[in-house]
A and B are shown apart, each in its own frame.
Chain A
Amino acid sequence: MRQDHLISATDLSREDIEAVLDHAAEIDANPAAYRQQHAGKVLGLCFFEPSTRTRMSFDTAMKRLGGQTVDMGPVESSSVKKGETLADTVRVVEGYADGLVLRHPSEGAAQMASEFVDVPLINAGDGAGQHPSQTLLDLYTIRENAGLDDLTIGIMGDLKYGRTVHSLAEALTNFDARQHFISPESLRLPRNVRYDLHASGSQVKEHTELDEVLPKLDVLYVTRIQRERFPDENEYRKVAGEYQIDAETLEAASDDLTIMHPLPRVDEISPDIDDTDHATYFEQAHNGVPVRMALLDILLSQDR
């Protein structure tokens, strides 16, 4: 992997992805060997939106590499509240840190910010756009549980606004993966993602019902249907129950089915699945640390 920033999953080749995942596996196997890897370095955490898992896992990853983090804190108490532009904010924080992690509510924010800084910048979610570091940990989890080639994956829920879905779908075009997208008509994949999937020649099908495809899946990636996105509450009610899964739903699934979720979940995965061999979402969340350690190690080690 040889690039300055990680903005979009479309930036990642298969070789890039495998380099990060292989390095993450090395770190996972022997984390002590990396304890002082980036001692003395500082990572700037710029989160313009609420985040728990992503922020904490980047914080943990940097500290486990021997480095430190600086955090701009909540937007409400930052200079953003005084009207500072994002371009100015990242240029200021660049002076404090060796790398930046940015989450922002606007699509394209990470791309724009990367044009104003010379230190590596990682997109930790830009509105409904992309979330490529989540994708790397998703792929790491998929590789460990089902393998990344000859894979049949179902991606279900809010595909329109789900940035983790957009990144994952784009990244999977590098592999021999058959992708099935399950969503209400109103929450289908956005035009640009469908355009890229089509252009890549990937095997892609769209569905409105899970049972059309469940028995053939190796992985089911579930996302939350975001109630707040629906203009009409009745429209939400029509689809919400259709996209909940429980132990009974899984009677039609393969015994080897891996169920994933970027979390937080609300009611789309019943707790009665948690103790089954299908449930992989907590392992998936834990994988965020070694994968982000690998990503940071690669980006922060490049000669600048």
Chain B
Amino acid sequence: MTENHELRVSKIQNGTVIDHVAGGQALNVLAILGIDGTSGETVSVGMNVPSDRLGRKDIVKVEGRELSQSEVDVLSLIAPAASINIVRDYEVVEKNRVVRPDVVSGIISCPNTNCITNADEPIEARFTVLSDGVRCEYCDSIVREDEVAANLTVN
């Protein structure tokens, strides 16, 4: 990211910068983090910023919050190239690439309306993570990477 591009989104004092999110996914990142603007958090978003690695990328900067591992797990499904930068006192103190988990549960709903996970049963949807999507461990439906965001339960 060049200095010029960085200026598009202001620096934060403490919090998390989620960088290298595929262009157009920033709003889904906010949805995963449960940020809808009502809780008072300061959030900066850059969308479709030029990127050497991705062509176009989104950046999300969240003031005053460090992400949990489960939040990072979900982010990895829609932004597998993302990096998570922890910022303290304006300095990046930790920089990690997301790692896709083997299984995710409770955060994606199965798009198969006839799947038992969509019935009124005491279970939550659980998915095996594939290289290019996820697979329902109950009905076997495959949700491709570009379809994951549309099936987030946090939406």
- Please give the residue numbers on chain A whose beta carbons come within 8 Å of chain B beta carbons, in ascending order: 8, 85-87, 104-109, 111-112, 115, 126-129, 191-192, 195
Chain B residue contacts of A107, Cβ below 8 A: 112, 114-116, 138-141
Chain B residue contacts of A8, Cβ below 8 A: 140
B98-155 residues at the A interface, CB under 8 angstroms: 110, 112, 114-117, 119-123, 135-142
* CB closest residue in chain A, given B118: A106
- Chain B contact residues: over half helix, strand or loop, or mixed? loop
The reply to whether B135 and A192 form a contact with Cβ atoms under 8 Å apart is: yes
A108 CB contact (under 8 Å) in B120, B122, B136 = B136
Which of B114, B137, B141 has the largest number of chain A CB atoms within 10 A? B114
The reply to whether A86 and B135 form a contact with Cβ atoms under 8 Å apart is: no
Kindly list the 7 A-B residue pairs having the minimum CB-CB distance in the complex, ordered from nearest. A108-B138, A107-B139, A108-B139, A108-B116, A106-B116, A192-B140, A109-B116
Mind listing 22 A-B residue pairs with CB under 8 Å?
A85-B122, A87-B122, A104-B116, A106-B119, A106-B139, A107-B114, A107-B115, A107-B116, A107-B141, A108-B116, A108-B117, A108-B136, A108-B137, A108-B138, A111-B137, A112-B123, A115-B123, A127-B139, A128-B114, A129-B139, A191-B142, A192-B135
Given the known A-B contacts A85-B122, A86-B121, A87-B123, are A108 and B115 also in contact in the complex, defined by CB atoms under 8 Å?
yes
The reply to whether A129 and B140 form a contact with Cβ atoms under 8 Å apart is: yes
The reply to whether B114 and A105 form a contact with Cβ atoms under 8 Å apart is: yes
* CB closest residue in chain B, given A194: B142
Write the nearest CB–CB distance from A200 to chain B, whole angstroms.
15
Chain B residue contacts of A86, Cβ below 8 A: 116, 119, 121
Chain B residue contacts of A106, Cβ below 8 A: 114-116, 119, 139
Chain B residue contacts of A104, Cβ below 8 A: 116
